Amino acid sequence: MRVWGIIKKNNKTIADTVKEFDFDGISTVGQWQSVIDAVCKELDLSHPVVLEKHLREIVGFSRTTFRASDFIESVDFDKLEIELFADKDRKR
């Protein structure tokens, strides 16, 4: 599974990263934490506050958005978007 992290400000992408993980989808809180940690580390961000809403969105839609207000430290962007992509070469 690949994860795309996108930082946006004024509806423009200012930074992004793609990370690869060995699991097929988010099914545990531990997997979700490792995804967020890896994306935030790559983008040099603090870890956002993860709400139940974020977990429901990632499980249901394979994407979620963290607003600037979801970060304890002040940030200089409007939102962090996280999207999950299943590997095409894996058979289901």
Whole-prediction pTM: 0.84
Query: Is 70 exceeded by the pLDDT of residue 91?
Result: no
**Is the pLDDT higher at 45 or at 92?**
45
The sign of the torsion formed by the CA atoms of 89, 35, 49, 56 equals positive
Query: Quick count: other Cβ atoms within 10 Å of Cβ 35?
Result: 20
List pLDDT tens digits, range 22-63. Answer: 877 666 777 788 889 999 999 999 999 988 898 889 888 989
Q: Where are the chain's structural domains? A: 2-85
pLDDT at 89 over 70: no
Mean pLDDT of 68-90: 87
Where are the alpha helices (H) located in the chain, listed in sequence order?
Answer: 29-42, 52-61
